[in-house]
Structure 1
Amino acid sequence: MFLFLVFLFFLVACAYTVKSNEDKILSRDQTEEWKGWMQVMFVWYHYFKAKEWYNWIRIYIACYVWMTGFGNFSFFWVRADFSMWRMLKMLFRLNFLVLFVALVTNNEYMLYYICAMHTYWFLTVYAFMRVLQSWNRNSKLMALKFAAYAFFNAIIFDIPGVSQVVFRPLHLILGLHDGSPDIMHEWSFRAGLDHWACFFGMLCAYNYPHFEKYMAYLDSKSSDPREAMRKLLMRLAIAAACLCAGFIWFFSFMRLEKYSYNAYHPYTSMIPVLCFIILRNIHPFLRSYHIGLFAWLGKITLETYLSQLHIYLLANARTLLTLLTGYPMLNFALATILYLVVSHRLFVITNDCSNFLLPHSKDVRRSLRNFAGMAAVLALSSAIFFALKVL
C-alpha cells in the first residue's frame, strides 16, 4: 500500500503540477521540491509503518541536514549578515512552533528531534562563519577553518561517549526520558547519525561557484563540432560516474540490515546525496522545471513534521487518527486533508508571528513592545486556564 500510494501520488504530481523556473543549479524551487517529496516519504513511512524503508528515511534526513549546511553557509557567505537579528529570525523559525506544541502537549523538546538537530547545525554554521570572519575570503585560511570544524566534529561524535559529556549541561533541553538509562542517548544517536552531513553541505556551498562555472561551460554552445561532442561526452561521463557510484553504494550499504547500516550511514550518506544533486542538475532542461505540488509541500516541511505526531498520527506516532471506524482509506483521505490544512495554517501563523515579533524593519523598540504585548496575552490566557481548571 505504501509504495502504491507513493507511486500514484508522484504520478499525479508529475502529470499535473510541473512548473517552469529559472535555469539555476539548486534553485529555491528545486530545493523546496526536494524537501517536499522527501517529506511525503517520511510522513507516510510513519503512517504505514513501512519499516523496510528505514534506510531510505535515514538518507532523507541526511539530505535535510545537508541543506541546513548548504543553505546557511551560502547565506552567510554571500550576505555576510551575522547580526543578532538574523540569528533570532532563524531560531524563531525553527523553534517557535515546536516550543508551543511541547508546552501544550506536555512533551519534551527532544521528542521533536528534527528541530533540535537543525537548531544545533544552524548554530555551528553561524559560529563557523562568524568567528574569524575576516578569514572567509582567503581560501587557505578557510581550509584551516574547515579542518578545525572537522576535527572538533570528529572528536565530539566519532569518539564513543564524548557527545554525552559535551552536551550533558544541556540535558534539560536535549534530554529525553524514554526509559533509556542515559537521557542523552536519543540526542547523541540522532545527531551522530548525520554529523558529517552539515559539514559536507558547507563544503558544497563553498565550492558551488566552481561547479556552477563548470556546468555553464558544458551548457555553452560551441561552433566547433568536436568541442560540442567533447562537452556531450563529459556530461555523459559525469552522469555515468554518478550512476555507477549510486549503484555501488546501493548494493554495498543500502541493502544492509538497519543496525548495520547505521554504523556506515554518517560516512556514506553523502554519496547518494551528491549523486542526486548532480543528476538533477546535469542538464538545463532538468534544472528549468520543478514539480509545483512538492515545492508547495517543501515550504511547510517543519509544520508537517510537527503536525504528523498530533494530527495525522496520535500517541507520538504510535497509532493512527481514526475519524471513520471501518473505512481505512477514507479515513486516510480525510486525515490527510485535515493534516495539510492545519499544517499550512500553522506555517502562516508562524510567519505572521515572526514578522510581528521580529519585523523586517529591525525596529528594536517595536519588537520589544510586541514581545511584551504577546507575553501579557499569554500570561492572561494561562491565568484564565488555571482559574477554570481550579473551578
Structure 2
Amino acid sequence: MPDTSPKFMNYAFLFVLFLMVITQHIHARSGTIDPHRCLTLLNNGTWSPLAPDGSRRWEPKDCRMVEHTADSLHECLNDRKVVFIGDSTIRQLFWAATKQVAHRKSETRIKRLLQSNGKHHDISFRANNVQLEFIWDPWLNSTVLHDVLKTLHALPMPLDVEAIAGMDELPPVLVILGAPGLWAARYGGDDYLNLFKRAVTGVVPYLSPSFDNNISQAMKTTHDSGDIPNRIFLAPVGIPDYSNLAPNRSKSITPERINAMNNHLSQVFPNNLSYIPWVYNQIPTSSKSDFDIDGLHVSDSMAALKLNIAFNALCNSAASARSRSFKGTCCVVPLQNYLTLIVCLLFGTSTGFVAGARHNLEIAGNSAVVKFVETLRNILAALLWCWYADGTYYLIRAERHYEQGIFVATCLIWLVVSVLSLRKAPQQTDGPSSSKRDPRYYRGPGYISRSQSNEIKGLMQGIILLYHYHYASQALWVYKIMRLFISGYLYISGYAHTLYLLKTNDFSLNRVIEILFRWNFLSVSLSYMMGTTYTSYYFAPVITFWYLVLYVMLRFFKSYNRDLRWLLLKIMVTARLTNSFILTPGILEAVTRFIHAVFFISIDVEEMRFRLRLDRYITFIGIIVAALTHRASVRRERAFLQLGCTGAMLALKFTLWLAIICVGSIITFFYVTQTYLQEKQTYNQIHPFISWIPILCFIVLRNSHRMLRDRYLLLPNLLGRISLETYVLQYHIWLGGDATAKLFMGYWEGR
C-alpha cells in the first residue's frame, strides 16, 4: 500500500496557506480603518459573564485590554505629564489616576489633596516620575486649556525635538478633555446646544485627522524603542442615571439634550473616532452600583475602568515591545521577529528539496535523508503557524469564560465519539517474545499495552485541551481532575520507560538523546521563536526531569536492577534525594542558571518547583509497578495483574473482589477530595500523596477482563501518540496569548 502521508502533508500545508491568505485579506480590509485595533478599544465592548467568584470584566471587541499596575504606568509615563481638563466627571478620572500611579506611601497625600482642594480648583499631584494635573474648565474655553493643547504633538519628544525647543517644561503625553455637555444642559437653558457647539469648535483644530495619522506613524516608528506617542481624548457627554438625578437637575439634564449633544460630536468627527472614547457611555449599566448616589457621576470602579481604557490606548504598544509576555492586543503594533524570515527560508528550501529530489534519493537508497528533511519541514511549518496565529494580530484573541454546562457537554461529546471508535487490539502471543532484546522466556508486560497507554493519554489530552479552551481552571472540582490526568501521564511514562530499560538493558546515549530531542525540540524552538520561557510549556521540562531521574537511578549500579530488593532500595533513596533537590532552596536555582548560561533558555524556577512538587512521587509509583511487572514476566509467572482469565473459580472471585475494591476506592477518593478539600492550596499539598490511588485503580479496572484488554479506542489512541506535541502547540494554535485567550479567524464573533 503506498504511503500517503507526504501527499496528506502537502494538502495540509496548502490548506494552512489558504487560511493565512484569507485572514490576511480580512485583516487588510479592516486594517485601513483600524490597523492596530485602537478604534475597537475606544468604541466597542461588552461585559463578560459573571465568573464563579461573582466578578466581571470589561472586554473590548476583538482585542484584549489589560489592567496596568502602578509599576507599568511609571515605566510608560516616565518623566511625562498627564493632564485632565473638564468638569467634576473628569476630576473623577484624575482621582482614579492618582490612586493608580501612587504607591501606598502616597495614599496619605491623596487624602490631603481631597480635603484641601475646593470643588472648582486646579489640582496637581506627582508620584515619583509621573506628573498628574487637573484643570477645572467645564466649558473648555480657558486660556490654560489652549496653552496645553498648543504644546501637544503627535510624535514622541525624541522625534520632534525642534517643536519643543525653548519650552519651560515637557508637554503632556496624554490629555483627557471632558465635553461640556452636562454644564451646557444644566446651565445653558434653551441655548445649550449652541454653547456646546461653540466649546467643541474651539478644540477641533487640535483633533485634526493629520494628528491621528501621526499617531499611527508614531506607533510604528517608536515600537522598537519602547517610546510612546502622545494622545488626546475628548470624553463624550456622559449618560447619567436619570432615575437618581435630583429634581433640579432632572428638569434640565434630559435624555433628549444629552443625545443631541452626542449626536453633534459624532457629526463633527464622522470618519475619525479615535479621539472620542464612545465606549465610556457603554460601560455603566442599569446597576445602581455603577453610579454614585447623585446619579450624575459614575462609581469609583467605573471611573478607574474608563481611565484604564485610556492608559491601554497610550501604553500598550510600548509595553508589548518591552515584554513578549504582555497580554494586551488593543492599540499594539505587531512585534518584528527576524527569526520568522530564517524559518521561512528554511521551510521553502526543505519543501523544494523534498519536491525536487525525493524520487532520486529514494532510488539511490537515501530514504533516511528524505525522512529527515520531511520531518524538518513539518517542524518549520508548525513554528510558522504558531507565529502566524499567536505572534501576529491577524487572528483575534478573545477572552475565555468558564461555562460549566458547555464544558461538560463538550467533554461528554469527546468521550462518546471516542467510545464509538472502539477497535479490537492487535493480537499478542503469550509465548516467548520474538524481539531480540527480550530476555529468554519473557512473557511481555501483561499489565498495560502500548495501545492502552496511548488510548489513556489521548483521552486525557482531549479533555485537557477542552479544559484550557473553556477556562475550566476556574472550577476547583475540574482542576482536581486535571491534576490527576497530569499525574496519570507521568505514571504511564515512568512505567513504560522503566519497563523498557529493565527489559532491554539499553542505556545507550543515542536513545537518551533521541527521547530528549523528541520531547524538547519543539518546546525549545518555540521559546526562541515566540520569546517565551521554556517553562511556559511546563509539561516538556517536567517529563524530561523525571525521565532523567529514572534513567540515572537505573543506570548506576544497574547490575542490582535484577534483584527486586536492591531495586526497591534504589528507588527509595532516589525518591528521597529527588525530594530534597526539588524542595531545597538554591539547588534548582543553580541548575537553571547553568542552563540559561549555556543554552540561553529562560526558566521560571518557582513555576518549575511548583510543578515538580505536585507530582514528586507518582513517577516512582510507576517505576515500582514496572519493576514488579518485569519480575513476574521474567519468572514466567501469570502476567502481572492480567485479571479476568477464564479458568478457576478462585481467579474469578479474586478478580471480582479486586474490581469492587478499585471501584470503591475511586468513589471514596472523589467523594473525599471533592467534598472536604475546598481550597486549591490544601488540595495541592495532599495531592502528591494520594494521586496514585485512582490511577492504579483505573488501570487495574481497564485490565480486569479479557474483553477490555483485547479492545482499545482508536481516536484517543491516535491522539495519544502525539499528546506531548498537541499539549505544546495548544499554547499558540488552539489558544493565543500563551494559552490565556481563544483564537478566532474573524468570520464570526469572538465571544
> What range describes the TM-score normalised by the shorter chain of this pair?
0.7 to 0.9
Question: What residue is the counterpart of 2:723 in the other structure?
Answer: 301
Question: What residue is the counterpart of 1:235 in the other structure?
Answer: 655
Question: What residue is the counterpart of 1:356 in the other structure?
Answer: none
Quote how far apart the aligned CAs of 1:221 are.
4.0
Quote how far apart the aligned CAs of 1:237 are.
0.2
Identity of aligned residues (%): 30
Question: What residue is the counterpart of 1:250 in the other structure?
Answer: 670
Question: What residue is the counterpart of 2:685 in the other structure?
Answer: 263
One of 102, 111, 120 as aligned partner of 2:545: 120
One of 403, 406, 409 as aligned partner of 1:4: 409
CA RMSD of aligned residues (A): 2.2
Residues 533 and 604, structure 2, Cα contact 8 Å, conserved in 1: no
**What do the CA deviations read for 1:263-304 (whole angstroms, capped 9, x no partner)?**
110000000100111000011110111110000000111111
Quote how far apart the aligned CAs of 1:317 are.
1.0
One of 492, 495, 498 as aligned partner of 1:73: 498
Question: What residue is the counterpart of 1:156 in the other structure?
Answer: 581
The verdict on how the C-alpha distance between 1:217 and 1:242 changes in structure 2, with shifts beyond 3 A counting, is closer
Q: Distance in 1 between matches of 2:660 and 2:750?
A: 43
What is the SS of the residue equivalent to 2:746? coil
Aligned residues: 314
One of 620, 628, 635 as aligned partner of 1:207: 628
The verdict on how the C-alpha distance between 1:16 and 1:127 changes in structure 2, with shifts beyond 3 A counting, is closer
TM-score by length of 1: 0.75
Quote how far apart the aligned CAs of 1:306 are.
1.2
Question: What residue is the counterpart of 2:586 in the other structure?
Answer: 165
Q: Structure 2: which amino acid aligns with 1:56? A: I
Question: What residue is the counterpart of 2:564 in the other structure?
Answer: 139
Question: What residue is the counterpart of 1:272 in the other structure?
Answer: 694
One of 94, 107, 110 as aligned partner of 2:535: 110
TM-score by length of 2: 0.40
Residues 454 and 717, structure 2, Cα contact 8 Å, conserved in 1: yes
Alignment of 1:64 onto 2:484: no
Q: Distance in 2 between matches of 1:316 and 1:81?
A: 38
Q: Distance in 2 between matches of 1:316 and 1:172?
A: 23
Q: Say which structure, 1 or 2, has more relative contact order (CA 8 Å, 6+ apart).
A: 1
Question: What residue is the counterpart of 1:287 in the other structure?
Answer: 709
**What do the CA deviations read for 1:197-226 (whole angstroms, capped 9, x no partner)?**
11111001001144972668855543xxxx
| Structure with greater helix share of residues | 1
One of 605, 615, 619 as aligned partner of 1:194: 615
The verdict on how the C-alpha distance between 1:320 and 1:167 changes in structure 2, with shifts beyond 3 A counting, is same
What is the SS of the residue equivalent to 2:638? helix
The verdict on how the C-alpha distance between 1:129 and 1:7 changes in structure 2, with shifts beyond 3 A counting, is same
Question: What residue is the counterpart of 1:42 in the other structure?
Answer: 464
The range that moved more, 239-248 or 291-300, is 239-248
* Structure 2: gaps (5+ residues): 1-405, 429-445, 597-602
One of 4, 14, 20 as aligned partner of 2:419: 14
Q: Structure 1: which amino acid aligns with 2:711? A: Y
Q: Distance in 2 between matches of 1:138 and 1:94?
A: 31
**What do the CA deviations read for 1:169-224 (whole angstroms, capped 9, x no partner)?**
1224788xxxxxx95211110000001011111001001144972668855543xx
Residues 458 and 723, structure 2, Cα contact 8 Å, conserved in 1: yes
Residues 174 and 184, structure 1, Cα contact 8 Å, conserved in 2: no
What is the SS of the residue equivalent to 1:134? helix
Quote how far apart the aligned CAs of 1:11 are.
1.1
The verdict on how the C-alpha distance between 1:183 and 1:220 changes in structure 2, with shifts beyond 3 A counting, is closer
Q: Distance in 2 between matches of 1:280 and 1:203?
A: 19
What is the SS of the residue equivalent to 1:213? coil
| Structure with greater strand share of residues | 2
Residues 67 and 201, structure 1, Cα contact 8 Å, conserved in 2: yes
Quote how far apart the aligned CAs of 1:19 are.
3.8
What is the SS of the residue equivalent to 2:744? coil
